[in-house]
Structure 1
Amino acid sequence: MNDISQAAIVRVGVDLSKKYFQVHAITQLGEVTLAKAFSRDRFFTWCSELPSGCMVAMESCGGAHHVARRLRDMGLDARLIAGSFVTPYRMAGKSGKNDANDAAAICEAAGRPQMRFVPTKTCEQQGQLAVHRLREGYKEERTACLNRIRGLLAEFGLVFPQSPEALRGAIHEVLEDASNELPSVARLALDRANSHYTELDKEIAWCDERIRAHVKSDERAKKAAQLLGIGPLTASALVSTVGDFAQFHSARQFGAWLGLAPSQNSTGGKAKLGGITKRGDTYLRTLLIQGAKSAVMSAGKRSDRISKWLLQLRERIGWQKTVVALANKNARILWSVLTRGTTFDPEHVPTYPGAVAVA
């Protein structure tokens, strides 16, 4: 491509992969000037010759934030788009999915005036999220290890209650008991499995320590941890994932981004609401729901306004809906606290425009 044609490029769609990046570049008039696959190094060399401020869009996927940071350092307008927003713009539909069509769809989607983009995460944000991802992996591995031990013991007629504490408290006695029918090789294998379980416990404890340290050092995480139903784990994950909360125009938009808003199937002027959409980050939504469950269960032990509201709401609409309502409420309060620089007050009474003060 010559310098004149490259200088005319205004938008580029890129389909990322491990080794090759498929590029789709267009001019101001929508003319395709390039549709080609580059190696990783050749791609960045080519991007260095693009005009400053040129939009380079790509799907938000593994490694995309790193690519976006590098492109922004070059003076380019790097944008990330959720994959679900790109699919409708693939002209060939589901049956025509390939790298070239995906790059063209990304380029087209990025040009839509109402398109919503994913903010690029900093290295610090991704570093903290790495701890959260490892912790979740260790949790799953620990559960699998415990179930594996339980299943193997059941093969020899050794059955224990389902709680992890019951099995862990009895495993050593079982392995030392010569009266059961466990053969020596099984005892050795189960002993190693139990040691692996212990090591996983230590890894999770280390992750928890790093998360607590993050909350202590981050003022926004400290404020988030003050809310009912939000502990250090949720506070750290929210701050690390979202970054700048001002990117959301309102608390309602933030709650909807987390998937805590009701889904709709409305038509003809008739509003029909369903369950929550469950869109957005599954990990954040799960943490908020789990924290809300704890707050609802202990609401009777507190006398603040939110706890009293929870008790009344639970009597009126039931347990599950109350938990979701509190998770959504916490998301909205968190947005307000972190965008307006205030602190959480469980006794806060909201004021509305045009409201008349009561003496």
Structure 2
Amino acid sequence: MKVTTVGIDLAKNVFQIHGVSEFGKPLIKKQLRRNQMAEFFVNLPPCLVGMEACGSAHHWARKLQAMGHTVKLMAAQFVKPYVKTNKNDAADAEAICEAVTRPNMRFVPIKNVEQQSVLLLHRARQGFVKARTAQANQIRGMLSEFGLIIPLGIRHIANHVPELIEDASNVLPGSFRLLIERLLNHLKELDRQVDELESQIVAWHRQSEASSKLARIPGIGPITASALVASLGDAKSFDSGRQVAAWLGLVPKQHSSGGRQNLLGISKRGDSYLRTLLIHGARSVVLRASLKSDPNRTCSWINDVVNRRNKNVAAVALANKNARIAWALLTHDRRYEAGYIASKASA
């Protein structure tokens, strides 16, 4: 009998393989070392291969596709219900093999090398930003032990701390002054790393036509646009803009029963980094909308939401709207026009 579907439980060194026929009969149950994977699948007739979207999944997906296989990636939480017994590698591979054949399964778009490299730049930048914030808070906490309070905001660290450690009237030990100076140098180095990575991201953004289109949307800049393009991959893999917003966790979480609708806060599913960028960008638009004396259609809509609810709800609503607009621009290959919806509605 011919193997038609294969489930792979990915790992660092040992991979569990589970293959079945078109009738669901198990034909392959084995473990493979990393150096055996290519040899095994190049000799296997083309079939459907399922994997969880985890570490190295996109790498193996591209490699197996080049061998003629049809590869589909799934989120781990969608595979978990198909695990029949206790969790182990064999049970996970069997669950993946079964889940990939479900007609209503949701799949993760496979990213190419360029998209992955851009996302890694974003992840590295995010790590340096977190380290910079932690370093600034450490300096602020150490100085507070001596009664020296720094105003909130990371920019005040560089503006006020050098003056404090140079002030001879402060009862600060010499060793402590040297320590703070060392931490300040570390903070400057982290700041430099963030700026360099951001420059690389902006350079890629300027070369990408799709990313440049998204940057024209109010509330989306080069950082958010490049992250959206690299994360979405092929936007046509999503059925609608609403599905993109749900994928990013920008829609209400439901707890409904008995025909009674009960909507909670946003679900916060998907990529928290991308969702945070969209919401922070929307906050700036909400702020500008409140300052304009002659608001346009978008500004009036935002102000209406702010008056009915609050600024946080308006920011999330605009982030949801921007995600749907981004999907429409990428799917239909259009450029953003501020009055596009208004002109269509009036027509």
When structure 1 is superposed on structure 2, of 182-191 and 140-149 the one drifting more is 182-191
Cα 1:340–1:75, aligned 2, differ >3 Å: closer, same or farther? same
The corresponding residue for 1:332 is: 324
1:217-268 Cα distance to aligned partner (Å, 9 max, x none): 1111111011111111111100011121111111221211111122222233
After superposition, where does 1:51-62 map in structure 2 within 5 Å? Answer: 51-52=45-46, 54-62=47-55
Aligned counterpart, 1:255: 245
Aligned to 2:58: 65
Cα distance in 1 for residues equivalent to 2:258 and 2:89:
40
Q: 2:270 pairs with 265, 280, 296, which one?
A: 280
Deviates more, 1:171-180 or 1:141-150: 171-180
Q: Which amino acid aligns with 1:215?
A: H
Aligned equivalent of 2:219: 229
Measure how far apart 1:194 and its partner are. Answer: 0.8
SS in structure 2 opposite 1:57? strand
Task: Classify the secondary structure of the residue corresponding to 1:13.
Answer: strand
CA deviation string 1:138-171 (max 9, x = no partner): 0000011111112222233332222222222122
Q: CA shift at 1:341, angstroms?
A: 2.1
Distance 2:312 2:160 in 1: 35
Q: Deviations over 1:302-331 (max 9, x none)?
A: 632111111122112222221111111111
1:351 Cα deviation from its structure 2 partner: 7.8
Residue aligned with 1:45, SS: helix
Quote the RMSD (CA, aligned, Å).
Answer: 1.8
Among all aligned residue pairs of Structure 1 and Structure 2, give the percentage whose two residues are the same amino acid. Answer: 45
3-state secondary structure, aligned to 1:270: coil
| Aligned position for 1:75 | 68
Please list every run of 5 or more consecutive structure 2 residues that lacks an aligned counterpart in the other structure: none
Q: Quick one: distance in 1 between partners of 2:148 and 2:259?
A: 62
**Which residue of structure 1 aligns with residue 31 of structure 2?**
37
Residue 32 of structure 1, CA deviation = 1.2
1:181 deviates by 3.1
Q: So what's the TM-score if we normalise by structure 2?
A: 0.94
Query: 2:232 & 2:99 partners in 1: Cα distance?
Result: 23
Letter in 2 for 1:121: K
Aligned equivalents of 2:296, 2:330: Cα separation in 1? 22
The amino acid across from 2:37 in the alignment is: F
Q: Residues 110 and 233 of structure 2 are in contact (CA less than 8 Å); yes or no, is this contact kept in structure 1? A: no
TM-score, normalised to structure 1, is 0.91
Is 1:175 aligned to residue 168 of structure 2?
no
Q: Deviations over 1:108-141 (max 9, x none)?
A: 1111111111111100001111110011000000
Answer whether contact 1:304 1:347 (CA < 8 A) is retained: no
Please give the residue correspondences for 1:185-204 in structure 2 after superposition, counting only pairs within 5 Å. Answer: 185-204=175-194
Cα deviation, residue 49, structure 1 = 1.2
How far did residue 350 of structure 1 move?
5.4
Kept in 2, the 8 Å contact 1:306–1:347? The answer is no
Instruction: Give the aligned partner of residue 112 of structure 1.
Output: 102
Distance in 2, matches of 1:182 and 1:164, equals: 22
The equivalent of 1:147 in structure 2 is 137
Residue in 1 aligned with 2:21? Answer: 27
SS in 2 for 1:153: helix
Report the more deviating stretch, 131-140 or 32-41. 32-41
Whether contact under 8 Å (2:329, 2:336) holds in the other structure is yes
Take 1:278 and 1:238, find their aligned partners in 2: how far apart are those partners? 17
Query: In structure 1, what residue type is equivalent to 2:45?
Result: P
